[in-house]
Amino acid sequence: MATSVLLTSLLATLAAAQSLGTTPEVHPKLTTWKCTNKDGCKENKSAIVLDSMAHWIHQKNDTTLGCGNWGSTADPKACSNEQACYNNCVMEGVNNYADQGVSTTGGSLSMTLYGKNGVASPRLYLLAEGEKKYELFKLVGQEFTFDVDVSKLPCGMNGALYMSEMEEKGGEGKLNPGGAAYGTGYCDAQCYVTPWVNGLGNIKGEGICCNELDIWEANARATQLAPHTCSKPGLYRCVGDECTKTGVCDKNGCGNNPYGNGEKTYYGLGKDFKVDTSKPFTVVTQFPKNEAGELTSIVRKYVQGGKVFENAAVNVTGAFDDAYCTKQNAATFMNLGAMKGMGQSLDRGMVLAFSIWWDEGGFMNWLDSGNAGPCNATEGDPKVVTKVEPAPAVVFSAIKWGEIGSTFMAAKKHVHWGRDE
């Protein structure tokens, strides 16, 4: 769910390209940490890159023309075949990320909905040291931790941190020289059609599918954790019925939402909630495995004010595992691989993505309204959102991953569902 309206509403006139222009790409630096229980956490010199479709794209011989529209094939006049796309289409670098609503300081990443020219709704990926490849996360038997500030995300907003089974080099090759360094190669479980597939011209109008793990989709009022499995490994080009809800990928996912699980005062804005979203907090996600090395469940913890909070209603719903997903009627997730399948994707490696967006069509009701959260059906209307918060923003920081127990300080006091100990 992390990209549905973000892409359709903002990228309608943009496209990626293969040949590179004269404007250089200048990535904001972001410190991250890899951790072990023995040696603690050591710094990485990471960086971030905007999705290729947020770059300026123009035809080589006419800078007023693009090379394709969202939801369709590459422009057939410019892209009769993949080679023609490379010859005719140019992607410029981004040398001022602040214009796109993005800034970094040390280990902190700030994203605002608005950029220099209005709504930017940026989507970013984490680059490994050297800035030529994506950081590839293999998290089975590991944990992933970050701090987040969602206080400027009212009803209807979504500040997302998630993973997709993109290729490490972003499809870099002869006809896609930019690769990961220019944000190419995106895919997710929604199987959208875009003008480009892994940086190559999408001549046949195929959907772009891959496993997706929504570690964090949230605003100040509600949050959801949701794995989305696919029956095909890696980036897969779908056609016809394969791209639909009954196709190769689980579009809805198996969702775990505190409010939806019946814990109405667990997560929310103010001191009356266990996790107070008016202040920053730490999100810990663990991926335990069995003796066969297979992912068995996903464990969520929060840290705030010196306390470690176990996931909401864990004593009522049990672990976030296949049994939980079966009870949630997540049949597609179960049929397309379940936790084992999600773990296999994590074993192959997934790329970390960040986004901030609003939902012009559905007002983000699936995340924070009805059974999912306390917002009413129209609070997520962008016209209402901007009255509540003129400058929606999210801050992600202190991104760490490594052995279970190594990425956060286990506080002396744990808070479980309904009791302290």
Is 168 a residue of the active site? no
pLDDT in tens, 26-37: 999 999 999 999
Question: Using CA atoms, how far apart are residues 189 and 238, in angstroms rounded to an integer?
Answer: 11
Domain boundaries, the chain: 29-403
Question: Residue 411's pLDDT is what?
Answer: 45
Rounded to whole angstroms, how far apart are CA atoms 282 and 302?
A: 6
Lowest mean pLDDT among 59-63, 98-102, 141-145, 339-343: 59-63
pLDDT at 317 over 80: no
369 band by pLDDT with thresholds 50, 70 and 90: very high
Give pLDDT, residue 275. Answer: 97
Strands (DSSP E) found in 277-408: 281-286, 297-304, 307-310, 320-321, 350-358, 393-403
Report the run of H or E that residue 5 belongs to, with start and end.
Answer: helix 4-10
pLDDT at 417: 43
DSSP letters along 101-151, please? TEEEETTEEEEESEETTEE---EEEEEPTTSSSBPEE--TTEEEEEEEE-T
Q: Tell if the pTM clears 0.95, that is, is over it.
A: no
Q: What is the CATH number of domain 29-403?
A: 2.70.100.10
pLDDT bin (cut points 50, 70, 90) of residue 11 is very low
Look at residues 156, 205, 121, 48 and name the one whose alpha carbon lies nearest to residue 388.
156
Which range among 7-16, 70-79, 205-214, 369-378 shows the weakest confidence by mean pLDDT?
7-16
* CB-CB contact of 25 with 95 (8 Å): yes
Weakest-pLDDT range from 64-73, 94-103, 339-348, 393-402? 64-73
Active site residue 217: yes
- Predicted local distance difference test score (pLDDT) of residue 68: 85
> C-alpha distances in angstroms, 398 versus 31, 146, 250, 258, 403?
8, 5, 30, 24, 16
> Half-sphere exposure of 350 toward its Cβ, with a 13 Å CA cutoff?
30
Beta carbons within 10 angstroms of residue 43's beta carbon: 11
Residue from 143, 172, 212, 242 carrying the catalytic annotation: 212
β-bridge partners, 416: 419
217, 242, 263, 389: the catalytic one is 217
Reported as a single tens digit per residue, the pLDDT across 228-247 is 999 999 999 999 999 999 99
